[in-house]
């Protein structure tokens, strides 16, 4: 155990987050997401798991991971099939976690199958214990400035 770090961030997760570079993508996925199969195509090549609700995992990750402020798709959410403008509660909770970092932009919506392709291009996938549908988001790593 270390001081100042959220205890749900295990050594493998911290190592992965630290190894990521500016612009690399991290997928946080619900329990229904094909996370194991898609994670094999990622840079990390194997799945990480944190058996907690999506928003809890997002808050923990965002406590150490800066978001990219150079691109519009700094964060993305999987769109609801046939209702792309609807933002489910589970995604709104992640948006609130993002807002708590000082970020004012909304996550961009990504069609379901396009989101799967995004996951294949990611640095890593963390499958959460989230059981609500559409609990899938992407976070793009930003930079830590010299004064931070």
Helix 54-62 and helix 89-99, axial crossing angle in degrees, nearest 10: 20
Residue keyed to tokens 């209702």: 83
* Residue 5 near residue 105, CB atoms below 8 Å: no
* Residue 67 near residue 139, CB atoms below 8 Å: yes
Q: Is 27 left (phi over 0), alpha (psi -120 to 50) or beta?
A: beta
Active site residues: 22, 68, 116
């Amino acid at each position: 155990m270390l001081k100042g770090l959220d205890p749900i961030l295990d050594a493998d997760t911290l190592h992965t987050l630290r190894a990521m570079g500016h612009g690399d993508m991290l997928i946080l996925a619900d329990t229904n997401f094909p996370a194991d199969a898609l994670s094999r195509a990622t840079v990390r090549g194997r799945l990480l798991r944190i058996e907690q609700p999506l928003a809890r995992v997002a808050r923990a990750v965002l406590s150490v991971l800066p978001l990219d402020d150079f691109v519009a798709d700094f964060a993305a959410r999987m769109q609801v099939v046939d209702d792309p403008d609807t933002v489910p509660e589970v995604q709104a909770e992640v948006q609130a976690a993002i807002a708590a970092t000082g970020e004012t932009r909304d996550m961009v919506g990504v069609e379901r199958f396009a989101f799967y392709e995004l996951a294949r291009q990611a640095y890593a996938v963390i499958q959460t214990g989230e059981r609500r549908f559409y609990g899938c988001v992407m976070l793009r790593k930003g930079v830590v400035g010299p004064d931070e």
